């Protein structure tokens, strides 16, 4: 089983657009995963039909058992996050959005009136799409531990792929280099880094490439909208050659891309220059993966 994660050093480079296109070209033979759980959007293109859904519980949140609260105010005094205040009725009130789950108020309450409930942070789902099975998630606003939720989605994608006998997992990762990206790269066989011809694009490409190198994940670079700044695009390619990074290809600026996104379609379901470039890139990616040992 091979797991390909599409990443970008910054948001808005076309990562999800490319993932949807590759899912289309895979012809339903891949299990898909949306690992950008903080701002998932692959479902906007693939229109999944949810097969089953599970709650994601992570951490704890304090809760006041009002019948036991003596209104001493100690919990409000010791809370460093301003999550506990004294209400007009005299009892303590916890704001769950501010509670960090440190358990200080629970440990120090003289009446034992503070409860420590599991925190509901979101849901993960197994769904069916026109491009194959998909595992994805929705993190609640302010929900924490997105790295752990990414790991859950990856684990479920691997289990489902094994059950279905699928040999490829295509995963849409999160932008940047934070915890969700590190979790996305865990046990991945290949990373495709999408960048753009701009100083910030090159800067952030270097950062995410360093993360891939740290975890020894082979990577390839895709340069999106290269024709908007040909000189900078040439500089990005030069850096790839200098660093020994596999350069997979260029994708042009194409008005068919936003049109397809607005229609809820993968761009490769159209026939513009961008779609043609991705179709030419797909067999190269498969060839690169096949030529690497340990995949």
Say if residue 86 is exposed, middle or buried (CB neighbours under 10 Å; 0-12, 13-18, 19+): middle
pLDDT digit string, tens, across residues 130-158:
999 999 999 888 777 778 899 999 999 99
Q: How far is CA 103 from CA 97, 99, 109, 269, in A?
A: 15, 9, 10, 52
Q: Is the pLDDT of residue 294 over 50?
A: no
Q: How far apart are the first and last CA of the chain?
A: 8
Average pLDDT over residues 180-185: 94
Q: What is the pLDDT of residue 295?
A: 36
Q: What is the pLDDT of residue 292?
A: 66
Query: Structural domains in the chain?
Result: 2-47+130-291 (3.40.50.300), 58-120 (3.30.70.20)
- The pTM of the full predicted model, rounded to 2 decimals, is 0.87
What lies within 8 Å, CB to CB, of 187 at 6+ separation is: 3, 154
The mean pLDDT value of the chain amounts to 93
Beta bridge partners of 63: 115
- Contact 230/43 with Cβ under 8 angstroms? no
**Percent of the chain, pLDDT > 70?**
99
Beta bridge partners of 18: none
Alpha carbons 177 and 174: distance in angstroms, whole number? 8
Q: Name the more confident of 71 and 142.
A: 71
Hey, what are 199's tokens?
Answer: 């100083």
Q: Is the pLDDT of residue 7 over 70?
A: yes
Sign of CA dihedral 66, 69, 72, 74: negative
pLDDT digit string, tens, across residues 83-125:
999 988 789 999 998 999 999 999 999 999 999 999 999 999 9
Average pLDDT over residues 2-25: 94
pLDDT digit string, tens, across residues 30-50:
999 999 998 899 999 999 999
Alpha carbons 101 and 222: distance in angstroms, whole number? 41
- Contact 212/28 with Cβ under 8 angstroms? no
- Picking from 239, 236, 216, the residue whose alpha carbon sits closest to that of residue 292 is 216
Q: What is the pLDDT of residue 183?
A: 94
- Contact 289/4 with Cβ under 8 angstroms? yes
- Contact 69/53 with Cβ under 8 angstroms? no
Please state which of the ranges 131-135, 142-146, 180-184, 250-254 shows the lowest mean pLDDT.
Answer: 142-146
């Amino acid at each position: 089983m091979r797991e390909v994660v599409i990443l970008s050093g910054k948001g808005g480079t076309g990562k999800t657009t490319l993932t949807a296109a590759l899912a289309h070209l895979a012809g339903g033979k891949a299990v898909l995963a949306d690992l950008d759980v903080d701002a998932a959007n692959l479902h906007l293109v693939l229109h999944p039909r949810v097969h089953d859904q599970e709650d994601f519980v992570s951490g704890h949140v304090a809760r006041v058992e009002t019948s036991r609260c003596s209104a001493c105010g100690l919990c409000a005094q010791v809370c460093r996050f301003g999550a506990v205040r004294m209400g007009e009725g005299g009892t303590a009130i916890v704001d769950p959005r501010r509670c960090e789950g440190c358990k200080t108020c629970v440990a120090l309450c003289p009446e034992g009136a503070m409860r420590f409930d599991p925190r509901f942070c979101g849901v993960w789902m197994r769904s069916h799409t026109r491009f194959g099975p998909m595992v994805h998630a929705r993190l609640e606003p302010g929900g924490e531990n997105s790295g752990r939720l990414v790991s859950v989605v990856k684990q479920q994608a691997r289990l489902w792929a094994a059950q279905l006998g699928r040999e490829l997992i295509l995963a849409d990762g999160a932008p940047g280099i934070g915890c969700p990206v590190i979790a996305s790269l865990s046990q991945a066989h290949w990373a495709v880094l999408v960048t753009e011809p701009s100083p910030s694009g090159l800067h952030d490409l270097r950062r995410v490439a360093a993360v891939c190198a740290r975890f020894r994940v082979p990577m390839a670079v895709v340069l999106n909208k290269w024709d908007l700044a040909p000189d900078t695009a040439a500089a990005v390619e030069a850096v790839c050659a200098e660093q020994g990074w596999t350069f997979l290809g260029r994708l042009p600026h194409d008005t068919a891309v936003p049109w397809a996104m607005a229609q809820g379609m993968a761009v490769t379901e159209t026939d513009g220059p961008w779609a043609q470039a991705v179709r030419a890139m797909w067999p190269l990616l498969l060839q690169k993966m096949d030529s690497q040992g340990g995949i």
